[in-house]
Every structure is written in C-alpha cells, then in structure tokens.
Structure 1
Amino acid sequence: MTLLGTLRGRLFALLAALGAVTALAVGGATYVSVRAEADELFDYQLRQTALSLRDQGRVARDEAAALADPNFDYVVQIWSLQGLELYSSRPQGMTEPLPARAVLGYSNLHLAGQDWRVFGAATPLRVVQVAQPIAVRQRLAAVAALRSIVPVAIALPFVAALVWWLIGVSLAPLARVASAAGTRGANALDALPTAGLPGEVGPLVDAFNSLLARLATAFDAQRSFVADAAHELRTPLTALKLQLGLLRDSAPGPEQDAAIARLRGGIDRAVRLVEQLLALARAEPGAAAPVEGLDLADIARQAVADLQPLADKAGIALTLDAPAPLPLEGDPQALRSALRNLIDNAVKYGARHVQVAALRAAGAPLLRVDDDGPGIPLEARERVFDRFQRGESAGTEGSGLGLAIVQAAARQQGASVRLDTSPLGGLRAEIRWARHRPELAAAQSPPTPP
C-alpha cells in the first residue's frame, strides 16, 4: 500500500470512528427523547380517556363493548361515591381487578406480577380509574423510537462511501505530486507541480521546491568546484611528474640539487593546495562544524604567530592590535584559517606593512587586516571571492582559494566579509559579526551579584 493509500485509510478510519460515535450519540439521544415523548403521549391518552368517562351519566352499550374488547390495552373501572361499582373492564389475562380505592391523578401500581400506569379522576357523583400495562407502553415507545433512528442507520453506509470518495478527491493533487516525485531520477531536481493543491498542502510543496532549488544550486556549485579542483590539481601534479623525470636524469651535483629543490617546492605547493581545498570543504554550508567558546583576540595572536616567520623572511612588518579579550561561540580552527588566509594574501601581494586587529566595533566583534599593498580595484572586489580567482599581480603564486575560504568560513560562523580601501593605502579586509547575537549579549552582560 502506498503512503497516500495509508493516509487515505487512516483519515477514513478516523472520520468513520467519529461518524459512528456521533451517530450513536444522536441515535441514543433520539431514542431517549422519542421514548419520553411517547410516554407523555400515552399519559395524555390515559387522562383523556378517564376524563371522557367521568362526565357521562352511564357507559353506553357500544362503549362498553369497545372497552371490553380483549385487544384493548386499557382497564376502566367506575365507582359511585358510596363505593358501588358501576362499570369494570378486565382485559384477557388479567386475574385481579384494580383496587377499589383510587389515587387521583397519575400513579404506578404493581398488580398480579405486572406494573400498571393508572390515572384517577373524580366528580361529585363518581370516581373513574383508567390503567394501562407499563410493558405495553414501553414496547410501543421502543418501536416508535427505533423507527425514528432507522433513517440514520440506513444513511450511514452512504455517508461512509461519500466520505471515502471525498477523501480520495481531496488527496488526488497530493497523489499527483507524490507520483511526480516517485518517477523522477536521482539527478532530477526540477520543481514539483503545484497546480490544484489545497491551501494546506501548498506551503509544504513550495517549501520542498525551495529545498530542491537550493540543492540544485549546491550541486551545481559542487560540480563546478570538483571540476575546477581537478583542473587546478592537474597542473602541479604534471609539474611534479616532470620534475621527477628531470631529477632522475640529472647527474649528481649542483644540477641534481636544483632539481630536488624544484621538486620540494612543487610538493609544498601541491600540499598547500590540498590543504586549502580541505579548508574550503570544511567551511561549506551544511558541513559539520564544532561550536565552542573562543577568544577572537587569542585567535588573532595565533594566526599572527603562524605567519610571523613568513613575514620576517619577506621583510614585512606584521603587527597586532588585540587589547582585550573578545569572547564568542564558534569554530576556532575555521576562524584561524580565515584570518591566516587574509594575512597570507597581504604578504604575497606585495605589502610592506600589515596590521591585524581584533576589537569591538559598534558593539560587535571584528577581525581586521590592513596592508599598504596594491589593493584590489573596486570593480573586482566581488569577483575575488569566487573560487580559483587569482589577483592580477603577475608572478604571484597561489590557487585563488584564499578569499573563497575566508567568505565560506565567515558565513559558517554567522559573520560577513567586507573589502575596503585601507588607511595604509592598500586593502582593508574585515570579518564582522552581527551586533545582536544571544551569545554576544551573554558575554557582554555583567555577572549577577550574589
């Protein structure tokens, strides 16, 4: 059974159970109500019979014959005020007469193993007492009550069939969507049809279509990344293969030493490229990232310490401004990698002075890198965040992944990256967090006094 078939059966079972309970409740209430009304009607007939005989001087022969009919359920007795019996009817099967002492109005009487409903009426000349077996009244009332609920019982199967059909009609658009989804291939990420969907299901299908669109975008980006990564890795691996051949063919001595140095440099570049690819993969949206308490000032000190030897070798002044701790929740490895890439870019692209700052600006944490290098033209600042997009400086080695890693890591940590012109004359790169974040507010709030 399909999922929609199961859903249809479950809905029908629930509605059928609800309908059955409702029908039983309505039928029970109708049964009780009709029985009560029948009892009132029988009491009214009992009273009218007694009152009609009370005002007659005598019982006519034809009336006496009718009252004496064995099929007549009523028992009639008439006495004078002196206790003389003027008339008495006794239906078939009645072994004892009604007691001569009548109770005026309605009363119940147990006589000869049978319960009776009695009405008594009196005039200045006579007393009339009319009785009816309660069993007869109950049987007639039950028959009338059952007749009143027969239409409900007859209608139930037709209502159930109509409910089953209506559920099928209501679920038909959803069945079309499920069929469209079930017949697609693994790579089909087109939007599902939304025509004719009920208002309650439309938002669900729209949300699913939005998810498919995001997945399609992510898969396209992933395929592009894999293709670009394969292209980028092919060049250094080919170079390593050539350098290995040159090393094999070179004679021992200075020529072989130069070949070994070139091979070592090629290996270092390949290792660096693989490390950047792994860093970018870890910073991709949806990748699992550890979240822990960290200090941005300490992250900045570690990144500067990692790249200080490279800056000293290139004769670059690398300084740090981190006057106070900046507590935050995030992934320290991703943030350290992002800041290292910003500093590494400044060092590689000809800066002579690089300033790193970890501070609070406008109430939010901020990582900033300023340099006095050539900078990036305004029209190219959006493009440099693309993967494998290198700067325009000729002769600068790199894979074009540095700023892509920075942007991916920042987004993963809930921050944004902004490029601007530095007061030093080069480029300013900032990783800025939003001002209002729960962990920032908790970190900035003073401790509660004991």
Structure 2
Amino acid sequence: MSSLKNRLLLALLGLLLGAAAVFGLATYRSVLAETEALFDYQLRQMALSLRDQGEIAPDQAQALADEQLDFVVQIWTEDGRSIYASRLHPELPARALLGFADVQAGGQTWRTFGVATRARVIQVAQPRPVRQRLAAGTALRSVLPLLVVAPLFVLLGGWIVARTLAPLRRVATEVRGRDALALSPLPEAGLPDEVAPLVTALNGLLGRLGQALDAQRAFVADAAHELRSPLTALKLQLQMLRRAADEPARQAATEQLAQGIERAARLVEQLLALARSEPGAAAALEPLDLAELARQALADLLPLAAARGSTLELQADAPVPLQGERAGLTALVRNLADNALRYSPPGGRVELRVGHEGGAARLVVDDSGPGIPPAERDKVFDRFVRRAGQEEPGSGLGLAIVRAVAQRHGAGVTLGESPLGGLRVQVRWPLVPPSPAAPAPGRARVPAA
C-alpha cells in the first residue's frame, strides 16, 4: 500500500479498535465481577434477614414461593430436619454448606450461602446461569456506548488525517499544474515542520534546474553565434576555390579552406568539451593519475610544439592520484598546455609541473608568452572572450573549459606571473591517497627545433 493517507487511517483504525477491545474487555470483566459480588451480597442479606425470624408468615412464604423468583430458601432445624423450603428442589443437597459455595444439582450450578443460628440453619440458593446471564447483560450494556462512539472516532480520525495531509496535497497539486519551464519556487508559507524541508529541497532543486537551463540557453546562443562566422567563412572559401582561374589560385584557396576547416573542427571540439563540462552533465568518475594524464596530453601536443620550435617540458616526480573523469581532466590539461604553446612566441618555452603541495594535488603551467594583466584575469574565464590584439586564431573557450572541469572536480584555478616571463596557471585538487597501481614518475621534454 503506497498511500500515506490509507496507511495512517489503517494505523489509527487498528489502534482505535485495539484500544476499544482492551477497554471493552476490561470493562466487561470488571462489571461482571462487580455484578457477581452484588448477587453474592444479595444472597447473604436474604439469608441473614431470615436468621432471627421465628416463624415465616404465610404471605411471606407465598412471596418466597413465587415461580418468578430465582432464589430458593431452605431452613433446617439444628438436628437437620427440614422445616421450610420456598420451592421443592430435590436436586439441592439436604444439608447446607455454611458460607458461599457452588453446588452441582439438576444439571446446573447453584450459588449458595448458608448461615447457622442456635436453633436453625438457613440456606439461600440461586442458579449460576441466571446470575451469569444477568451479569453479562449488565456488562454488555456498559460497553454498548463504546461500540456506538467507535465509528464516530473512526470518522473523526479520517477527518484529522485528511486535514493533516492537506499541505502535501497542495504541494502535489502545485507541482502537477506546472509545465516544464515553470521553475519558480513553491510557496512555503503555512507548511508544517515535516513538510517544509521537502518543499525547501524542491525549491533548491528547481533553482538549480533553472540555473542549468539558463546556462544551456546561453551556451546554445553563444555557440550558434560563434559557429555562424566560421561556417560563413567556409562557404566563402569554397566559392573562392570554385572560382579559382589557375592552379596557384586553386592551391591558395584550398589551403585557406583547409585552415578554415581546421579552425571550425577545433571550435566544435571545444564546444563539445565545454558541453560535457557543464553542470548536470553525466560524469563517470574513476581513479586516475594526473601525471599520466599530463603525459598523454603533452604527447598529443608534440607535433604543435615541434612545428613552432617551442620547448614543452613536464616535471612529474611522483604519481598524483585523483578521483575524476578522464575525458574532462584530459581536456583541462590539454587546453592549458595548448593555450601556453599558442600564445607563446615561436621558440618559446612551456613547463608543466604535477605534484603535491600543502595536502593537495597541484598542476602548474608556466609559459614565456605575453601573460595576462591582473585586471583582465577574471574575464578570460568567460566563454568566447578573447583579449584585444591577439593574432593567434581561437574561440576563447580554452580557459572556460578549464574552469568548468575544475569546478566539477572541486578544484580551484588561479592565474599569476610566471618565472618564465609569461602566465602561470595553477590548478589545485583535494588530495587522494596514492594507488599502488599508479604509473611510475617521469619527465618529458621536447627541445626547440
């Protein structure tokens, strides 16, 4: 049963029926015992009332002999001779038992009380079934009001449960009536303490979903804007290729088209990397070695470093274990190294260092390029932002990807001055205990061509 209301109603009904059963049984047994005691008192008083009476008057004897009277009165002399019986009951014993006693006679049980005086013995008897029937009727009449009130309690309990769960129904109705784009917070006024945390959590989730949707809308708008220019350039270059009059012009147009395709492919690759790094994107975390990721990223950039005549060096003295997403961290290291190579002059120097510092994993990238002024360092992490005066073609997504990946892994990114004269980028992660299967440390270096 999945309904909370039905569970509460069944629980309250079970508790009410259990309490009614216990209370009714206790009341029934109590009234039964009290009625039995009252009947015994009546037997005793009747016997004692005849104790000091000399003769039984005829009218009194006639009253005691009434067939509707349940009592049987017997009187004996002190030597055991019967001198009176209100009704003839041969099944009753011919000798009295003093005090209270249960006697089997005539196929039923009799309750008797006997008392002795100096001259006579008096016994009053009453059938036990009659007593039990009268006592049971009295006990049932005492429990009857509870049986009448119990259904009213059930209805009252149902009304209380419905009133208690009304805030949950209001919240469900509010959520059910919204469309996919209605992410405004749910009202929290008047909610009970048990429901308020749920609504607060839902509002937090709606806020995060709103931020994610806004980020996706902004990303799609920016991507469409940035893709429009290279695609238009490709169309123009293709038209120039078709219009080329001779072989040298055709080769020049082909070269420009190839460069345009390469720039467009790089832009699409960076857009996809940024989309994978956005909040809410699925990520498969696994144990990784940052030093090994750096080696792989630098291996991919060796042709670019060689073509520019630049020196690309990695210093990794020990494995640096991390728990993260392989594709995202690889993109982070590759973008930092690629930016350092592209924005450093040909023949420049780029150094990457991977290690531990202050209880945290650290990646440092130094280059010999022009660097970034302190006033502009916060802006370069925005999407599609390129500094004025840059001649190197690009999309302005490299550092945006780095920041997005770092935030998803709980890392921090800072920019500073490099000892090589250019920019220093430092990324710090929480430290993860080293894995015994981590690759051995090493150093990679590509000298200037």
Is TM-score (shorter-chain normalized) higher than 0.5?
Answer: yes
- The Cα offsets for residues 89-109 of structure 1, whole Å up to 9 and x where unpaired, read as 22xxx7535212233332211
Given candidates 119, 122, 136, the residue that maps to 1:128 is 122
- The Cα offsets for residues 210-230 of structure 1, whole Å up to 9 and x where unpaired, read as 111111111011001001001
**Does the 8 Å contact 1:358/1:366 carry over to 2?**
yes
SS of 1:110's equivalent?
A: strand
Given candidates 334, 338, 359, the residue that maps to 2:332 is 338
**Does the 8 Å contact 1:297/1:325 carry over to 2?**
yes
After TM superposition, give the deviation of residue 442 of structure 1 in Å. 7.1
Instruction: Report 1:21-40 matches (<5 A).
Output: 21-40=18-37
1:416 aligns with 2:419: no
Residue of structure 1 equivalent to 2:441: none
SS of 1:99's equivalent?
A: coil
Unpaired runs of at least 5, structure 2 = 437-449
Q: Which range moved further: 67-76 or 419-428?
A: 419-428
- The Cα offsets for residues 326-381 of structure 1, whole Å up to 9 and x where unpaired, read as 22322222211100101111122226222111101122222221223232233333
Given candidates 365, 370, 377, the residue that maps to 2:366 is 370
SS of 1:54's equivalent?
A: coil
Q: Which range moved further: 15-24 or 179-188?
A: 15-24
Inter-partner Cα distance in structure 1 for 2:390 and 2:422: 17
With normalisation by structure 1, the TM-score equals: 0.89
| Residue identity opposite 1:386 in structure 2 | D
Given candidates 62, 66, 71, the residue that maps to 1:69 is 66
**Does the 8 Å contact 1:328/1:443 carry over to 2?**
no
| Residue identity opposite 1:363 in structure 2 | G
Instruction: Report 1:12-411 matches (<5 A).
Output: 12-90=9-87, 95-350=89-344, 352-411=348-407
Aligned-residue CA RMSD in angstroms?
A: 2.3
Structure-2 change in CA distance of 1:37 and 1:390 (3 Å) = farther
Number of residue equivalences: 434
| Residue identity opposite 1:422 in structure 2 | S
1:429 aligns with 2:445: no
SS of 1:233's equivalent?
A: helix
Inter-partner Cα distance in structure 2 for 1:380 and 1:128: 121
| Residue identity opposite 1:365 in structure 2 | A
Inter-partner Cα distance in structure 2 for 1:56 and 1:265: 138
Residue of structure 2 equivalent to 1:448: none
Unpaired runs of at least 5, structure 1 = 445-450
**Does the 8 Å contact 1:300/1:357 carry over to 2?**
no
**Does the 8 Å contact 1:349/1:393 carry over to 2?**
no
| Residue identity opposite 2:85 in structure 1 | S
| Residue identity opposite 1:218 in structure 2 | A
| Residue identity opposite 1:318 in structure 2 | L
| Residue identity opposite 2:249 in structure 1 | E
SS of 2:152's equivalent?
A: helix
Inter-partner Cα distance in structure 2 for 1:284 and 1:271: 20
- The Cα offsets for residues 140-164 of structure 1, whole Å up to 9 and x where unpaired, read as 1111111111111111232222223
Q: What is the aligned-residue identity percentage?
A: 55
Inter-partner Cα distance in structure 2 for 1:62 and 1:443: 113
**Does the 8 Å contact 2:212/2:280 carry over to 1?**
no
**Does the 8 Å contact 2:319/2:434 carry over to 1?**
no
Q: Which range moved further: 248-257 or 344-353?
A: 344-353
**Does the 8 Å contact 2:336/2:365 carry over to 1?**
yes
With normalisation by structure 2, the TM-score equals: 0.90
| Residue identity opposite 1:30 in structure 2 | T
Structure-2 change in CA distance of 1:377 and 1:70 (3 Å) = farther
After TM superposition, give the deviation of residue 58 of structure 1 in Å. 4.3
After TM superposition, give the deviation of residue 243 of structure 1 in Å. 0.3
**Does the 8 Å contact 2:321/2:433 carry over to 1?**
no
| Residue identity opposite 2:183 in structure 1 | L
